[in-house]
């Protein structure tokens, strides 16, 4: 069993300082950073490739909308378990950033992960879209509630507040039901909302 990230305490200090609620202490599982807090980061990392893969996947990040000639820290993590610093670098004079980072061994296939850019004082600058960690067989698992947000396909709002749509052999489910979905990420799909999971198994929670 792999260890959880040993969350950098300064990241916890940042969360407290900007008023997003409890700090990111990996040892204290009751302290959660909600998706709304991450959404408040205005800039997005413009390019991330690939957007899914198992731990150990090398990911390229690139963006051009940052402060120029500024030292920054790159973190990766999940909402429930905090963020870990994985790189430090200087942006270009024009505010450009490009680097490759490795998805840590502790990353879990039942959580969406994010890359985040901080300045050296741990003020958040930019956030990536969700990176979907898979197991070595390309499987992800998500728990969440069935919603009415889908049009062509049934929709699931994950515990991480990321929107998914479900394709394949999907049973009859009603809005509000809590389920655990296991499957693979669809490369192409007629589902137009969220990230599409090609379902292998759905388990309902009572």
Mind listing the pLDDT tens digit for each residue in 90-114? Answer: 999 999 999 999 999 999 999 889 9
Q: List the structure tokens of 8.
A: 């950098």
Q: Where are the domains of the chain?
A: 9-133, 139-205
The class level of CATH for 9-133 reads mainly beta
Mind listing the pLDDT tens digit for each residue in 129-168? Answer: 999 999 999 999 999 999 999 888 999 998 878 899 999 8
Q: What is the number of other CB atoms lying within 10 angstroms of the CB of residue 88?
A: 12
How far apart CA 84 and CA 202 sit, in angstroms, is 31
Give the pTM: 0.77
How far apart CA 193 and CA 175 sit, in angstroms, is 16
Mind listing the pLDDT tens digit for each residue in 5-58? Answer: 443 333 333 332 333 333 333 333 223 444 555 566 778 999 999 999 999 999
- The answer to whether the beta carbons of residues 5 and 79 sit under 8 Å apart is no
How far apart CA 127 and CA 135 sit, in angstroms, is 24
Which CATH architecture does the domain made up of 139-205 adopt?
Answer: Beta Barrel (2.40)
């Amino acid at each position: 069993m792999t260890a959880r990230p040993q969350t950098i305490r300064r990241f916890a200090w940042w969360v407290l300082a900007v008023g997003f609620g409890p700090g990111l202490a990996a040892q204290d599982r009751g302290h959660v950073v909600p998706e709304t807090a991450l959404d408040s980061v205005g800039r997005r990392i413009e390019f991330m490739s690939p957007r899914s893969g198992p731990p150990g996947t090398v990911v390229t990040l690139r963006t051009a909308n940052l402060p120029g000639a500024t030292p920054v820290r790159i973190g990766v993590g999940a909402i429930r378990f905090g963020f870990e610093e994985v790189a430090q670098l200087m942006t270009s004079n024009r505010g450009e950033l490009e680097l490759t980072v490795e998805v840590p061994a502790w990353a879990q296939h039942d959580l969406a992960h994010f890359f985040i850019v901080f300045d050296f004082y741990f003020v958040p600058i930019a956030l990536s879209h969700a990176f979907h960690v898979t197991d070595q067989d390309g499987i992800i698992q998500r728990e969440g509630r069935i919603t009415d947000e889908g049009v062509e396909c049934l929709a699931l709002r994950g515990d991480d507040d990321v929107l998914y749509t479900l394709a394949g052999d999907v049973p009859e489910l009603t809005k509000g039901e809590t389920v655990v979905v296991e499957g693979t990420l669809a490369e192409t799909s007629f589902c137009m909302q969220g990230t599409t999971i090609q379902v292998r198994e759905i388990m309902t929670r009572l």
